Structures are given as C-alpha cells and as structure tokens.
C-alpha cells in the first residue's frame, strides 16, 4: 500500500529536476510505500525528457507524470493532490532535494500522531556559489531557508510550513479546499502568498500543524538568486501576493496586518542600525530595502 505521495511541480528546471528525483530513490522508506508524482506546468525545456529517462532508469519506483496546462504553481499543486493515491502528501520543490530519511520521518510522524494533519520541517540552503554578503538569518528565508529550532512542536503562531517542505493528510484538501489559483507563482512571476492563505484557512479548523525538524530539505541556491535584482523581484512579488490575499480581509484583519507590518518595520530599522554598527553595510541595506520593495508591491494595483 502506498503511504505517501511525493509531489514535484516543475517549470523549466531540467537542471535541478534530476537531482530532486534521484534523492527520492535514495529514501530509507521502502520504495513500495511511496509514489513520485511530477506535474509539468508548461515547461519549454527538456523537463519531459528528464522524466522519461528517469522512468526508464528507475522502473522499480512508482512514478507518475502529468501535465497541467493552466499556468501557475497553485493549479499544478492542485493537480498533484487530485492525482495522488496515498493518504499522505508531501510537496517537494523542483530545485531542492530531500534528506535520505525524509519520507520515513514524515510517514512515521503522521502514523504516530493521528491528531496531526500537516507537518513541516527544516529547509537548509545549498549554495552553488559564494554566500551573498547580505546573507543573514532574517533574509535567508527569501532563498528558501527555514529553521525554528531542533524541537518537535506545534507551529508557533504566525509560522507555518514552507512550500518546499510541507506535508499533509490528503483528506484536508477534500474537507477545506485546495490551493487558491489566484495566488502563487505563474511562470517567472514571483507572486506568492498561496501557502500562507492555505494555512490560514486550515488553522481556523484547529487541526494539528506540527514542526518536525528531523524532516530536512536542502534548497539549491544558484548565484543568480543572490543578486539584488532577484531579491527585489522576490519582495515585490511577495507584496503583490499579500495584496491579493487581503482582498477578502475584514476590517479587523486589515488592522492586525497593519500592526504586524508596523512591528516588522520597527524590527527592520533596529536591525539596519545594528548591521551598520557592526560595519556590515550590505546586510543593513538589504534588510531595509526588502521592506521598501515589499511595501511597493503591496501598493501595486493589478
């Protein structure tokens, strides 16, 4: 019986997809206990060829390939959910790779904690080039980094599993809905917030959402993603996604968001001067400009 479906939604990432797929073949979880699902979201590179080759080279693994014509990460993820055969689902980024015990850790946690419906773990960075001079624990999340400690615990308020390391009971989507297709990346567009919106919806049901640090994912970071231009694009996209997500907010929710952003601005200003005091101008510049770009995205009308 298949216990977990590893869903990989991909768009023009042939360079990394092979590494992502091969990491799945090295799992300590028995190969008959999981399936690998790839959802190709209109890739124009050799993604399909990579998948065809993988299927031929690893016939012993349960591998399914699908194509989603509606452009966007959210529609692709929804297709993966609908096509999955297992009671548990995990979403893997096409430019990341999982630790060898990842699937075993996730499955075991679900099986031993029936009240838990979603799990997220650590995401560590795998730099392909130099570590950027602006790099710090406050901004590394823009590159996919996520680490809130070494203890298993319910996700603290305002935290939620990140996209390249989030797992669910499949029944959640049938009960509470799928990813919002109005949110999420579309091709090279970095608009986000679909994960935050999903977990906000799920959290209102009082389901168990737990942080399991033993479930580790490594996210690849090419040098092109460490440039100022990329961070600007990421921040603008985040702001635009937040604006779209807030359309359904009540006045009270808008007030909470305003207060939270005010707190974030105060924190960023404090860090700005702290980095300047430590003679780290690149970190100071990026920490404050991220807030500026996010605010600009938040005020962008679509």
> What would the pLDDT profile of 111-162 be if each residue is shown by its tens digit?
999 999 999 999 999 998 888 889 888 888 888 899 999 999 999 888 889 9
* 4-225, CATH topology level: Spore Coat Polysaccharide Biosynthesis Protein SpsA; Chain A (3.90.550)
Give the pLDDT score at 24.
98
Residue 202 burial (CB < 10 Å; 0-12/13-18/19+)? buried
Query: Are 103 and 34 contacting, i.e. CB atoms less than 8 angstroms apart?
Result: yes
* Geometric angle at alpha carbon 61, from 57 and 66, rounded to 5°: 90
Lowest-pLDDT choice from 106-115, 191-200, 264-273: 191-200
User: Which residues in the chain are classed under CATH 3.90.550.10?
Assistant: 4-225
Give the pLDDT score at 170.
95
Give the pLDDT score at 139.
86
Please count the other Cβ atoms lying within 10 Å of the Cβ belonging to residue 95. 20
Between 166 and 253, whose confidence is greater?
166
Give the pLDDT score at 184.
54
Question: Which distant-in-sequence residues (6+ apart) come within 8 Å of 247 by Cβ?
Answer: none
Please count the other Cβ atoms lying within 10 Å of the Cβ belonging to residue 225. 20
> What would the pLDDT profile of 161-218 be if each residue is shown by its tens digit?
998 999 999 999 898 888 877 775 554 544 456 777 888 777 777 789 999 999 999 9
User: Taking 70 as the threshold, does the pLDDT of residue 98 lie above it?
Assistant: yes
> What would the pLDDT profile of 28-84 be if each residue is shown by its tens digit?
999 999 999 999 999 999 999 999 999 999 999 999 999 999 998 999 999 999 999
Contacts 24+ apart (CB under 8 A), 197-202: 197/245, 199/118, 199/160, 199/161, 201/176, 201/177, 202/117, 202/118, 202/172, 202/176
77-86 as b/e: b if 16+ CB within 10 A: bbbbbebbeb
Mean pLDDT confidence for 276-284: 93
């Amino acid at each position: 019986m298949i216990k977990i479906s590893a869903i990989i939604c991909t768009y023009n990432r042939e360079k990394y997809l092979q590494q992502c797929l091969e990491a799945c073949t090295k799992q300590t979880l028995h190969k008959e206990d999981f399936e690998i699902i790839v959802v190709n979201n209109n890739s124009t590179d050799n993604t399909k060829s990579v998948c065809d080759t993988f299927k031929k080279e690893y016939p012993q693994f349960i591998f399914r390939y699908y194509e989603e014509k509606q452009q966007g990460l959210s529609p692709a993820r929804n297709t993966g959910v609908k096509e999955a055969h297992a009671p548990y689902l995990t979403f893997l980024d096409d430019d990341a790779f999982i630790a060898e015990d990842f699937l075993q850790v996730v499955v075991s946690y679900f099986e031993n904690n029936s009240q838990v419906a979603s799990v997220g773990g650590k995401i560590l960075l795998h730099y392909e080039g130099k570590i950027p001079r602006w790099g710090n624990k406050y901004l590394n999340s823009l590159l996919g980094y996520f680490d809130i400690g070494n203890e298993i615990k319910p996700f603290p308020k305002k935290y939620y599993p990140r996209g390249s390391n989030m797992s669910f009971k499949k029944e959640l989507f049938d009960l509470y809905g799928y990813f919002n297709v109005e949110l999420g990346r579309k091709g090279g567009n970095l608009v986000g917030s679909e994960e935050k919106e999903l977990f906000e919806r799920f959290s209102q049901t009082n389901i168990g959402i737990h942080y399991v640090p033993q479930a580790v994912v490594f996210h690849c970071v090419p040098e092109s993603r460490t440039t100022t231009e990329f961070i600007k694009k990421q921040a603008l996209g985040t702001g635009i996604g937040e604006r779209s997500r807030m359309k359904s907010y009540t006045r009270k929710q808008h007030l909470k968001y305003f207060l939270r952003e005010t707190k974030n601005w105060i924190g960023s200003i404090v860090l700005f001067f702290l980095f300047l005091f430590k003679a780290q101008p690149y970190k100071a510049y990026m920490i404050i400009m991220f807030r500026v770009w996010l605010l600009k995205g938040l005020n962008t009308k679509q």
